[in-house]
Amino acid sequence: MAVRALFSIFGVQGDDPDLVKAQYAAFSKQIPLMYFILLVNSWGLAATHIAIAPAFLTIYIPAFLTLVCAVRILYWWIEGLRPTADLDALRALRKANALSWVLAAAFAAWGLCLAPYGEMLHRSHVAFYMGITVIGCIFCLSHLLSAALAVTVIVSLAFAAYFGMTGNLVFIAMAVDLVLVSAAMIAVLSVQYRDFLALISSKRTLLALNEENKLLANQDSLTSMPNRRRFFAELESDHQADHHAGHQVGHHPDSLDRHAICVGLIDLDGFKPVNDIFGHGTGDDLLIQVADRLLRLGGWGPEGEDRPANQTFFARLGGDEFGYITRQGGLAAAVDIGTAVCAALAEPFLIADARIELSASIGIAALSPTDATVASVYERADHALYESKRQGRGEVVVFSKEHGEAFARLLTIERAFGKHNYEDEVSLVYQPIVDMASGRLVAFEALARWYSPTLGHVSPAEFIPAAERSGFINPLTRLLLRRALEDALTWPAGIRLSFNLSARDVSSGEQALRLLNIVLASGVAPQRVEFEITETAILADMSQARTVALMFKAAGVGIALDDFGTGYSSLTHLHEMPLDKLKIDRSFVNGIDGNSTGKKIVKSMLRMCADLDIGCVIEGIETRAEYETVKALGGPLAQGYFLSRPLSADKALALAAADAPLAAAPEVMLAS
Ligand code: C2E
Ligand code: MG
Ligand code: MG
């Protein structure tokens, strides 16, 4: 036990490699200084004794010891040049520790051998030499406490033994002094050494925390997949690499396609309802399983290791959106991965006894060496994803030239819309909605118009999506609603206002509340106002759309489902939403007079509305024949160019004030 304790005091502990390395680094820096002190002091002593002591003591032995020291200095110098990875720090420290005993004994013995020569002053020099040198050396050895201790023990014992025996009171006092000072120094050094250990360990903790932070900052906490930040960092580094390579391969005609880095964006269809129906816990489990399936396709783990070039990088970008990057095989490979993803996610998921079916929409775009930033490729992939969602479900869409043109147009519109003061450039027109039985006007649908100084007239089918993308839609809707209500206030009290809302107006509870306040403050009775919403808006977030619709209804505002039949036309929407009206899309009416299937469809839609006890507007009636056919089927309300094109506010007011039947003499209205 005692031997082991002694060994642990005088030995070098090797169980902590980090500590050994830090000790080595600090120690090796101070070692040349220690040899310098040792040699200067020793030659100083040799010089004062050269005339009175034999040459082997004043020249040969110091020369030999100097040689040994020189070899050690050389050794430390060479070690310092070696790469740190090759160092055997523990061995070097243990060697230094062992050598400290030998050298301390050798130098102490040599010093004491000179003590008998000369007079009192010479002996005092020996004592001074031993005392001052041991203190200097202990300081330099502070990072190898065992060696410092060894030197202290040997020199102090030798000093005390020799000078204590002289019987000279001055020397005895010196011996006591040296022992006490050395002991005090060792005590101070051991406190310092403990601080050094604590510093190393806190540095290590800090590094570990840093690593963990880095990992967390780049990892999605739910699925442990790389997150959005990591996805963009990865894309950025690929872009940099591609940029350099692009200058070499860029001229080859098909080099872009085969070498292009591609981005795929995955959006889960049908995830929102899962959250709504089964709760967020199940939604989370589902996302974890989705991530699992994706990673199995890519084979690339999230542990932060470097990604092999031939593997796909998958990441969760947020919510139910995932993304991937391919580095090899160009667009063809990216499409293959996309198809595999669709197939993998089409397999039903089993979560807590529930069988959940999903599908994925995927948009893909290739990085081009001319792309200034990675944001461009992401935007193109996002646009392709948007197209994929529009086309239907479970589709892979590659960003094409045509998409490029449409996208460029969208961006132009977006920019033009944002740049100018759109308040002065947008206006409203009003299209009559007519009661088919009486042929009389019952409502106007407000339709937005935009005249851009640079682009001319732009259709709302183009600028409303641009306003949605760039975030202008909510203030735009509020502005238009205020103006529409101002106009409606001038109409006879029996004429209602139908007003279109965008999906973004319905998805925000705050915006819905503001719209309602505008209606309530307008002076127009809420019962005269109807909001038209599309199926897409309902589908984006069913429960939110329902909440908002209920709020409108409670205030007396009506809700109409616009463009019915063009979206997913799910009967659940009819059932779950508090609807007052359906607006049957004009595609069903087009040529209905000569089309028996079309007639049957419209007839069954009309019956459904009657059964559900909700109103029905048939949109897009362009000819008398269509009008008569729909009327014969029992259509209650109608809208279309045959009855009237959208009218300016003044003309709308004149029409409302005239209170004449429209359907009776539609040619008059067509001329307006
Ligand atoms: P919507 O709400 O279904 O409006 C009917 C669209 O069909 C209008 O086009 C109208 O001019 C057009 N239309 C009416 N009768 C006929 C017809 O007999 N034949 C044909 N071919 N078309 C007819 P518009 O004004 O270009 O609006 C297009 C869409 O833009 C609207 O479809 C609506 O979804 C949206 N929109 C228009 N104004 C607004 C608005 O103020 N806010 C929002 N969020 N969307 C709006
Ligand atoms: Mg509408
Ligand atoms: Mg419509």
Rounded to the nearest 10 degrees, the angle between the axes of helix 374-391 and helix 401-419 is 110
Predicted confidence at residue 299, as pLDDT, reads 54
211's tokens: 């690593």
The CA 583 to ligand 3 mean position distance, Å, reads 6
The CA 562 to ligand 2 mean position distance, Å, reads 5
Is the distance from the beta carbon of residue 567 to the nearest atom of ligand 1 less than 6 Å?
no
552's tokens: 């409108």
CA-only gyration radius of the chain, Å: 44
Residue given tokens 């020569």 in the structure block: 117
Q: Are 215 and 281 in contact (CB under 8 A)?
A: no
pLDDT single digits (tens) 314-335: 999 999 999 999 988 889 989 9
Element spanning 356, H or E: strand 354-356
363's tokens: 């948009």
The CA 567 to ligand 1 mean position distance, Å, reads 16
The closest of 555, 496, 504 to 530, measured between CA atoms, is: 496
Element spanning 127, H or E: helix 120-140
pTM here is: 0.62
Q: Are 470 and 418 in contact (CB under 8 A)?
A: yes
Closest ligand 1 atom to Cα of 447: 38
Best of 425, 427, 482, 500 for a ligand 1 pocket test (most atoms within 8 Å of beta carbon): 500
Contacts of 414 (CB under 8 A, 6+ apart): 466, 469, 470
Is the distance from the beta carbon of residue 443 to the nearest atom of ligand 1 less than 6 Å?
no
Higher-pLDDT residue of 638, 82:
638
The closest of 527, 526, 531, 536 to 548, measured between CA atoms, is: 531
Q: Is the pLDDT of residue 540 over 80?
A: no
Closest ligand 1 atom to Cα of 461: 30
The CA 617 to ligand 3 mean position distance, Å, reads 9
Q: What is the DSSP letter of 58?
A: I
**What CA–CA distance (Å, rounded) separates 584 from 76?**
90
Instruction: Please list the residues that pair with 364 across neighbouring strands.
Output: 264, 398
What's at 272, amino acid-wise? K
pLDDT single digits (tens) 562-579: 988 876 666 777 788 899
The CA 500 to ligand 1 mean position distance, Å, reads 9
pLDDT single digits (tens) 466-502: 888 788 899 999 999 999 999 999 999 999 999 999 9
The CA 658 to ligand 2 mean position distance, Å, reads 24
Q: What are phi and psi of 350, to 5 degrees?
A: -110, 110
Is the distance from the beta carbon of residue 641 to the nearest atom of ligand 1 less than 6 Å?
yes
Predicted confidence at residue 306, as pLDDT, reads 54
Q: What is the mean pLDDT of residues 393-400?
A: 83
Closest ligand 1 atom to Cα of 532: 2
Is the distance from the beta carbon of residue 502 to the nearest atom of ligand 1 less than 6 Å?
yes
**What CA–CA distance (Å, rounded) separates 321 from 294?**
12
Q: What are the structural domains of the chain?
A: 2-210 (no CATH), 228-399 (3.30.70.270), 421-671 (3.20.20.450)
**Residue nearest to ligand 1 atom 12, measured at CA:** 620
The CA 619 to ligand 3 mean position distance, Å, reads 6
Among the bound ligands, the one closest to the CA of 590: 1
Residue 137, number of CB atoms within 10 A of its CB: 24
**What CA–CA distance (Å, rounded) separates 375 from 313?**
17
Among the bound ligands, the one closest to the CA of 429: 1
Residue 387, number of CB atoms within 10 A of its CB: 20
